[in-house]
Amino acid sequence: MPRLLIFTAKLGYQTRSFDEAARKLGVALVFVTDRCHQLEDPWGDRAIPVHFESSEASAAAVLQSVRGQTIDGILALGDRPAVAASYAARGLGILYNHPASVEACRSKLRMREVFRDAGLRGPWFRAVPIHPTPEPSLLGISYPCVAKPLSLSASQGVVRANSREEFMAAVTRIRRLLESPEIRATREPNLDQILVEGYIPGREVAVEGLLTDGELRILAIFDKPDPLEGPYFEETIYVTPSRLDASQQREIEKCAADAVRALGLSHGPVHAEFRINEEGVWPLEVAPRPIGGLCARALRFSPDANTQSIGLEELLLRHAVGLSGSDWPREDSASGVMMIPVPKSGTLEKIEGEEFARCVAGISSVEITARLHDYIAAWPEGSSYLGFLFARGNSAREVEDAIRTAHGKLRFEIMSRLPVEHPVTGRLPSVAD
């Protein structure tokens, strides 16, 4: 039985999808998670406990745990586990990305530097300390610009500013987020800095790819039909196949290959974001991991109409352990997903309309992942969605229309949190609280 290491920040719905695919294939999964090592297997999955902020130490712990076992492949789910996975792969002699390449993907500043040095299109950029509050006129900052944390994902903390006043407000808001207990607890690097860069206008697309010995295969190009113009950049709808013309898609594919090559990535899944305008294609970010959350369910693969399709998780498992079928193309039908946006921060008290959303023609699944009575933060402080809407159809337009119609059937009652003065400090909760 092939044995695969999966590095994952937490055991959730994405992990369960991989577990189901592995059972189908007869692949044994060994999970590596950032849980407390003093808890004795609380979830019964026999996962190896590590701390992803210490990548090399995590890799060493994994090597010790699997000593004497045959490991056939490695996958990382999410940005934080990817660096530790690369060090473990190096120690095990498994084909994977080099740690230096993965570390470059973890820093938005380093990634911008790599793209610039490779001659790829990119905005002006500079790293700025959050203390003291930077004066934009002294830094040569022009507008519009975008301020963002150096290492957070899912557009958390990303804010567009069109003036000095908006920039100062954005920096204050990002600083509160980076100094919040929740973010500090992650021990993310560079929480004392932000990246400021020129705003890139244009349409945004996402690319899902798969690297084999340095060769990039494009699995799908997703259009993002909702404009992502700020001031915050919460993503919503992904639809494939892309409705861009063939020449634009070829340019995106070329830019993706150039960006991956510049970073030195060589093996495994890739998720990348690009902007396209009259000047061409601009790489935004490249991550050595698959698309996050439940979004992978929007992709199915099959060699022909007579063969049952498989999901992205199974495709990646086949690729990681060298089983046949990892070269199957995406099926012909159009598909899409909406990451259901959070309209405002607060406590989720009621959800209505799920049954009506499920009855919309073309909708294949409605998955509400937010829990009742839990607090959920809107962007830019937030990073978790209310759930996911999936649709399939004969065309991308048909899929998009179905998703928008279904979303219109849903109602979320979110109660704002009342400001309560801290009993010791006397401070009212900030927006990042």
What pLDDT, on the 0 to 100 scale, is given for residue 419? 61
- Per-residue pLDDT, averaged over 129-136, amounts to 88
Outline which parts of the chain fall under CATH 3.40.50.20. Answer: 3-104
pLDDT at 430 over 60: no
The Cα-based distances of 6 to 29, 84, 208, 311, 338 in angstroms read 7, 11, 19, 17, 26
What pLDDT, on the 0 to 100 scale, is given for residue 43? 41
Kindly indicate the confidence band of residue 328, based on its pLDDT and cuts at 50, 70 and 90: very high
pTM value is 0.92
Kindly indicate the confidence band of residue 293, based on its pLDDT and cuts at 50, 70 and 90: confident
Of residues 140 and 367, which shows the higher confidence score?
367
The Cα-based distances of 181 to 176, 178, 188, 432 in angstroms read 10, 8, 12, 10
| CATH number of 123-198, picked from 1.10.3720.10, 2.90.10.10, 3.30.450.40, 3.30.1490.20 | 3.30.1490.20
Outline which parts of the chain fall under CATH 3.30.470.20. Answer: 333-433
CATH top class, domain 333-433: alpha beta
- Per-residue pLDDT, averaged over 81-101, amounts to 96
Neighbours of 369 (CB within 10 A): 15
- The HSE-up count of residue 161 (CA atoms within 13 Å, CB side) is 26
Convert the pLDDT of each residue in 44-71 to its tens digit. Answer: 457 999 999 899 999 999 999 999 999 9
- Per-residue pLDDT, averaged over 164-185, amounts to 94
SS3 393: strand
Outline which parts of the chain fall under CATH 3.30.1490.20. Answer: 123-198
Tokens representing 170 are 């954005």
Q: What are phi and psi of 280, to 5 degrees?
A: 130, -155
What pLDDT, on the 0 to 100 scale, is given for residue 420? 58
Alpha helices in 234-296 (DSSP H): 246-263
- The HSE-up count of residue 68 (CA atoms within 13 Å, CB side) is 1
SS3 353: coil
What pLDDT, on the 0 to 100 scale, is given for residue 133? 83
SS (H, E, C) 358-374: HCCCCEEEEEECCCCCC
Spatial CA neighbour of 112 closest among 54, 194, 188, 53: 194
Tokens representing 220 are 């799908």
pLDDT at 37 over 60: no
Beta-carbon contacts of 82 under 8 Å, excluding residues fewer than 6 positions away, are 7, 76, 97, 102, 105, 106, 287, 288, 289
Question: What is the architecture, at CATH level 2, of domain 3-104?
Answer: 3-Layer(aba) Sandwich (3.40)
